[in-house]
A and B are shown apart, each in its own frame.
Chain A
Amino acid sequence: MRILNLAGRRLAASIPTLVLILIGVFLLLQFAPGDTVDAMMAQMGGGDAATARELRKFYGLDLSIPAQLGNYLWRLVRLDLGFSSIYGKPVASVILERLPPTILLMTASLSFAFFFGLVFGVIAARGVNRWPDTLISTLGLIFYATPSFWFGLMAIVVFSVYLQWLPPGGFEDIGAARTGIWRALDIASHLVLPTLTLGLIFLAIYLRIMRASMLEVLNLDYVRTARAKGLDETRVVTRHVLRNALLPMVTLIGLQAGTMLGGSVVVESVFSLPGLGRLAYESVVQRDLNTLLGIVFVSALLVITVNFIVDLIYARLDPRIMAEG
Chain B
Amino acid sequence: MDAVKRYFRSPAAVAGLILLLIVIAMAVSAGWLYPRDPLALAGRPLVWPFSNPRFLLGTDNSGRDIAAQIFYGARISLLIGGVATAIAILIGILVGAFAGYYGGWVDNVLMRITEAFQTLPNFVLLLVLVAVFGSTLTTVTIAVGVVSWPAPARLTRAEFLSLRNREFVQAGRTLGMKNSQLIFGEILPNALPPVIVYASVVMAVAILLESALAFLRLSDPNVASWGNLIGLGRDVLRVQWYVSAIPGIAILVTVLAVSLVGQGLNDALNPRLKGR
Interface residues in chain A, defined as those with a beta carbon under 8 Å from any beta carbon in chain B = 14, 16-18, 20-21, 24-25, 28-29, 31-33, 128-129, 141-142, 144-151, 153-154, 156-157, 161, 212, 215-216, 255, 258-263, 265-266, 269, 280-281, 284-285, 287, 289, 292, 295-296, 299-300, 303-304
Contacts and interface: CB of A to CB of B under 8 A. Distances in A.
Nearest to A151: B248
B230 A21 contact: no
Interface in B219-276: 227, 230, 233-234, 237-238, 241, 244-245, 247-248, 251-253, 255-256, 259-260, 275-276
A157 B241 contact: yes
8 contacts: A16-B112, A21-B119, A153-B237, A154-B245, A265-B123, A281-B216, A296-B120, A303-B120
A147 B128 contact: no
A284 B125 CA distance: 11
B204 A145 contact: yes
A258 B127 contact: no
Contacts of A141: 256, 259-260
Nearest to B118: A258
Contacts of A299: 120-121, 124
Prevailing SS type, chain B contact patch: helix
A149 B59 CA distance: 21
Interface of B: 112-113, 115-116, 118-134, 204, 208, 211-212, 215-216, 218, 227, 230, 233-234, 237-238, 241, 244-245, 247-248, 251-253, 255-256, 259-260, 275-276
A129 B275 contact: yes
A142 B121 contact: no
Contacts of A24: 116
A154 B259 CA distance: 23
B112 A265 contact: no
B119 A266 contact: no
A292 B126 CA distance: 12
B131 A292 contact: yes
A29 B218 CA distance: 17
Contacts of A295: 124
A255 B118 CA distance: 8
Contact of B251 (A28, A147, A281, A289): A147
Contact of B121 (A31, A129, A151, A262): A262
Nearest to A204: B259
A268 B129 CA distance: 20
A296 B259 contact: no
A145 B119 contact: no
A215 B274 CA distance: 12
A292 B121 contact: no
Q: Which of B127, B256, B259 has the most CB of A within 10 A?
A: B127
Contacts of B116: 17, 20-21, 24
Contact of B124 (A18, A129, A161, A280): A280
Contacts of B256: 141-142, 144-145
Given A263-B123, A265-B123, A149 B132 contact: no
A266 B118 contact: no
Contacts of B234: 153
A304 B119 contact: yes
B127 A280 contact: yes
Given A261-B121, A266-B215, A150 B251 contact: yes
Contacts of B247: 150
B123 A266 contact: yes
B248 A147 contact: yes
Contacts of A28: 128-129, 132
A303 B129 CA distance: 20
Nearest to A146: B252
